[in-house]
């Protein structure tokens, strides 16, 4: 893993994968709620796997308990990557 991972890199990865899972690219933004862009629990599991493999971090279901928006996901990952 590169030690120079930026929040922008994480955001790009999250958004790219959400769109790949079927979310409308025009609707995906930091402020978009996961519900509004039709991200379901299976999508979150797949996204978690991508994030864990890409950034070499461990996430579990409890980490997503209070996640409501795309920005929340990005912030969570950034915090873990920088920890």
* Neighbour count for residue 83 (Cβ, 10 Å): 6
pLDDT in the model for residue 6: 92
For residue 70, what are the domain limits?
A: 7-82
Give me the number of domains the chain comprises: 1
Residue 3's pLDDT is what? 57
Assess if residue 2 is contained within a domain.
no
Residue 14: inside a domain:
yes
Say yes or no to pLDDT of 2 above 90.
no
Query: What digits encode the pLDDT tens for the residues 5-52?
Result: 899 999 999 999 999 999 999 999 999 999 999 999 899 999 999 999
Residues 6 or more apart whose Cβ sits within 8 Å of residue 5: 55, 81, 82
**Is residue 1 pLDDT above 50, yes or no?**
no
CB 23 within 8 A of CB 39: yes
CATH of the domain at 13: 1.10.1200.10
- Would you say residue 1 lies in a domain? no
């Amino acid at each position: 893993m590169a030690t120079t991972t930026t929040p922008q890199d994480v955001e790009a990865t999250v958004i790219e994968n959400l769109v790949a899972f079927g979310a409308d690219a025009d609707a995906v933004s930091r402020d978009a709620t996961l519900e509004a862009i039709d991200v379901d629990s299976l999508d979150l599991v797949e996204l978690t796997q991508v994030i864990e493999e890409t950034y070499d971090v461990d996430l579990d279901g409890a980490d997503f308990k209070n996640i409501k928006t795309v920005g929340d996901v990005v912030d969570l990952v950034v915090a873990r990557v920088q920890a």
